[in-house]
Amino acid sequence: MDNNELEKSTAYITVEIIEYIPNSVVIKTILKKSTGNISVMSFDSGEGLTEKTSPFDTFAQIIEGKAEIVIDGQSFLLDTGQSIIIPAHKPNVIKANERFKMILTIIKSGYEL
């Protein structure tokens, strides 16, 4: 995982910030602050993230392909351009039934730290 932020005051084509790597999930940090972070991720087909629960709400935006996001046992199929808020304290899984890219944004509100 690359914890270096992207260069500021530079224009980017978001979907081109990260590439697919066979049999992998790739994460690139856009911004990382004590108050939250923004990352872009690519998932090869068949890959995913194991179930986790975060103390913060997470905003997931699909920027290429299709993703399956399971929140508290309920499955959501998201296509390019769609997004969903994963609620804090809810178990969730991100699956790549086909390859896709997404942006994850986590805002840490001070009272939850």
Average pLDDT, the chain: 92
Give the C-alpha separation, 104 to 41, whole Å. 8
Angle at 2 between CA 69 and CA 49, to 5 degrees: 20
Q: Are 66 and 75 a contacting pair, CB within 8 Å?
A: no
Give the C-alpha separation, 80 to 102, whole Å. 9
Residue 65 has pLDDT above 50, yes or no: yes
Residue 3 has pLDDT above 90, yes or no: no
Tell me the average pLDDT across 50-70.
96
Confidence at residue 1, expressed as pLDDT on a 0 to 100 scale: 40
The answer to whether the predicted template modeling score (pTM) of the entire model surpasses 0.85 is yes
Q: Which amino acid is at 45?
A: S
Tell me the average pLDDT across 75-100.
97
